[in-house]
Amino acid sequence: MARVYNFGAGPAVLPLEVLEQAQAELVDFRGSGMSILEHSHRGKEYSAVHEEVVANYRKLFNLPESHAVLFLQGGASGQFAMLPLNLLGEGQIADYTHSGAWASKAIKEAKIIGQVNIVADTSKAVPARVPRPDELKLTPGAAYVHITTNETIGGTQWKSFPKTEAPLVADMSSDILSRPFDVSQFGLIYAGAQKNLGPSGIALVLIRKDLATRVSPKVPVFFRYSTHLEENSLYNTPPCFGIYLMMLYSRWTLKVGLENLYRQNREKAGKLYAEIDRTGYYRGTADVSCRSDMNVTFRLPSEELEEKFIKESSAQGMKGLKGHRVVGGIRASIYNAFPPAGVDALVAFMKEFERKNG
Ligand SMILES: Cc1ncc(COP(=O)(O)O)c(C=O)c1O
């Protein structure tokens, strides 16, 4: 079996042992004579999976008792809408930082629900960057303050988080569990699972429980955080197989350890940025102060060379390096499960490509 180096931004590479275990127990889940795909979400087999993944995340995030773990459908985009639907009450203002393409989508949804104040805007900055925590012009009495901790398309990442009076809310889709941080400073964190957690279609939500009570009775029951909180994400049939994969991935993350992953992530990104900076042939698109450890974005001297780069790297088993269709260029997504050897292979390829085409 030949596994390629998958630099895709999401759905993204998963740990091989997660895939292999899922494969091994797909048909007969732990001697039950049924697949986990066929088990009731109320049965003891699935319940054990559900309980374990919640417990694993509580450990990994060092989650305080004040916060709950939820699994919600509709990915991170669902949360763009559900968040203001629940937390942006009538007559209130929500503060949003505008750091690029994903922040823009969150802002767009919130504006449908209520009043939004853009408290810092770096969306047009060249090189790309996220706001500095001290740049935010916060609204007194805001319902919450929203940040996008890692802009997957722009390749930028918040290196420290702002201190806010209002609950701090983060879209952590593309850098969740890539580094240790203090969850208690956040009112709510959400992340599409398809980068560092598991398969697509699910959002992991960490919510301070008191925030779930804020919701207006006009919000349909299904779209209330309180519904899923009260029912431990089992209000309706959850995406059981996806949550099972998240459980396996969370085991792997616990085994490797968050500190180790953080060190490895910085080493992987550091190698690529060092190569980008080595001669000036490659040009990083993100400001050095906030270069992402997860999505490394760069350009070549021309679009023709970029096309050649993508084609030739792909032929050598390095897939998914094409930048997002909106910005072009090259993007190497190197999430937790991306092997360090794949980064070494890309660095070697970059050197050789420059030697031949520079
Ligand atoms: C930072 C960020 N937020 C939100 C999303 C949207 O996630 P989903 O496709 O799960 O709705 C993505 C997807 O790549 C993302 O990178």
In this prediction, residue 107 carries a pLDDT of: 98
Q: For tokens 């722009």, what's the residue?
A: 154
Q: What is the DSSP letter of 128?
A: B
285 lines ligand 1 (CB under 6 A): no
Question: How remote is the CA of residue 32 from the centroid of ligand 1, in Å?
Answer: 35
Cross-sheet strand order for the sheet of 295-299? 283-284, 295-299, 330-333
Where b means 16+ CB within 10 Å and e means fewer, 7-34 reads: bbbbbbbbbeebbeebeebeeebeeeee
Distance CA(156)–CA(253), nearest Å, equals 23
Q: Active site includes 293?
A: no
Question: How remote is the CA of residue 183 from the centroid of ligand 1, in Å?
Answer: 20
152 lines ligand 1 (CB under 6 A): yes
Kindly give the number of the ligand 1 atom that is closest to the alpha carbon of 9.
Answer: 14
Structure tokens at 216: 């207006």
In this prediction, residue 1 carries a pLDDT of: 64
Of 175, 195, 268, 293, catalytic: 195
75 lines ligand 1 (CB under 6 A): yes
Q: Active site includes 171?
A: yes
pLDDT digit of tens for each residue in the chain (358 aa)?
689 999 999 999 999 999 999 999 999 999 999 999 999 999 999 999 999 999 999 999 999 999 999 999 999 999 999 999 999 999 999 999 999 999 999 999 999 999 999 999 999 999 999 999 999 999 999 999 999 999 999 999 999 999 999 999 999 999 999 999 999 999 999 999 999 999 999 999 999 999 999 999 999 999 999 999 999 999 999 999 999 999 999 999 999 999 999 999 999 999 999 999 999 999 999 999 999 999 999 999 999 999 999 999 999 999 999 999 989 999 999 999 999 999 999 999 999 999 999 9
Q: For tokens 């009538």, what's the residue?
A: 90
In this prediction, residue 2 carries a pLDDT of: 85
Strand 202-208 with 67-73, pairing? antiparallel
264 lines ligand 1 (CB under 6 A): no
4 to 62, 97, 214, 271, 319: CA distances (angstroms): 34, 37, 47, 20, 7
17-256 with 257-357: one CATH topology?
Answer: no
130 to 24, 126, 255, 334: CA distances (angstroms): 43, 11, 32, 20
Q: Active site includes 195?
A: yes
Task: Give the total residue count for the chain.
Answer: 358
User: Under CATH, what is the fold of the domain 17-256?
Assistant: Aspartate Aminotransferase; domain 2 (3.40.640)
CATH 3.30.70.100 fits 257-357, yes or no: no
196 lines ligand 1 (CB under 6 A): no
Q: Which among 152, 189, 204 is the best mutation to test ligand 1's pocket, defined by most ligand atoms within 8 Å of the CB?
A: 152
* Cβ proximity of 103 and 158 under 8 Å: no
Q: Which among 71, 83, 174 is the best mutation to test ligand 1's pocket, defined by most ligand atoms within 8 Å of the CB?
A: 174
The domain locations on the chain are: 17-256, 257-357
